[in-house]
Structure 1
């Protein structure tokens, strides 16, 4: 019996990983993106990091030139679809800001959807067209880009992972002072999920 329990736990872990898919989104501050997606039913893990650039092993306090702050989302497609992730993504970003997101400006804070295959590309393009149709007088600047290596935050900078959980007061002050929720409400109204 003692051997059976660890074996069953290992099989359950393997089974859950077998039905897991991944998605990568950039939407400004990865603390906020992590917080927004971890609340979504069916999302099993959200990792903060960098993607989109050529520089290997970017760091937050060092060089991350050319990279976007992004999140890698692991999800159970039997509970939430990629389309569901896209729907959630759009109402958690400002798709019209070509300088960054909210109070954070610069390339690393731009929004982007990173697609890994034709299915993701097709769904992402269709979701972007819906947003364009919804806001015909504004320019949607969020690009759909090919997947590149995702570099998770690590080492001395690991405090960025789960920042909203580990530093709730600082996180809430940052989010409020950055005007993120106020701008999201202005754009999306009652579709915002906070």
Structure 2
């Protein structure tokens, strides 16, 4: 098994696209990239911890490659928006690919360059690629949010879904 961490706005919206992939063992909502140990949701939302909302994905690379997961990631985010995602604004919602090792860094950089060269977006790709830091699981009520609160999830996911359909086709 390998681990990867993605930040792409509200973590509620980032679990489902990965959770249902063959080869994915677990997807956990949490916080990473900041300077506060064991932050709470309220602390992260206060923009004082430096953390992003992120998902930690444990996967079997023999079934689903890191590169395939990167392709799924790009289709879930607006890679041209450095200051949040969709209705979620602020540094805690910025898009980041956190890499675990040099191979992941190189694959993420290559994937980003490929997306930039594709012409799919008229603005620069601003998603950052940063070394993984300590990942703190979010409170239990945030885990599997899309399953526990499907109506609220759909409402929160609507603008993201519209963007995805405009740029990547129907999902």
Structure 1-normalised TM-score?
Answer: 0.82
Match for residue 149 of structure 1 among 111, 134, 144: 134
Tell whether 2:134 aligns with 1:189. no
* Contact 1:22–1:72 (8 Å) recurs in 2: yes
Shift in Å, 1:137: 3.4
Corresponding position of 1:51: 32
Corresponding position of 1:4: none
Q: Point out the structure with the larger helix share.
A: 1
Q: Where do 1:150-165 residues align within 5 Å?
A: 150-153=135-138, 157-165=139-147
Shift in Å, 1:173: 2.0
Q: Specify every segment of 5 or more residues in structure 1 that has no aligned partner in the other structure, as ranges.
A: 1-19
| Greater Rg by CA | 1
* Contact 1:49–1:151 (8 Å) recurs in 2: yes
Q: Distance in 2 between matches of 1:70 and 1:62?
A: 15
| SS in structure 2 of the partner of residue 61 of structure 1 | helix
* Contact 1:44–1:76 (8 Å) recurs in 2: yes
Tell whether 2:63 aligns with 1:79. yes
* Contact 1:86–1:124 (8 Å) recurs in 2: yes
Aligned pairs, number: 167
Q: Specify every segment of 5 or more residues in structure 2 that has no aligned partner in the other structure, as ranges.
A: none
Q: CA RMSD in A?
A: 1.3
Q: Distance in 1 between matches of 2:26 and 2:16?
A: 11
Higher relative contact order (CA 8 A, sep 6+): 2
* Contact 2:23–2:63 (8 Å) recurs in 1: yes
Structure 2-normalised TM-score?
Answer: 0.93
Corresponding position of 1:140: 125
Shift in Å, 1:63: 4.4
Q: Distance in 2 between matches of 1:82 and 1:62?
A: 31
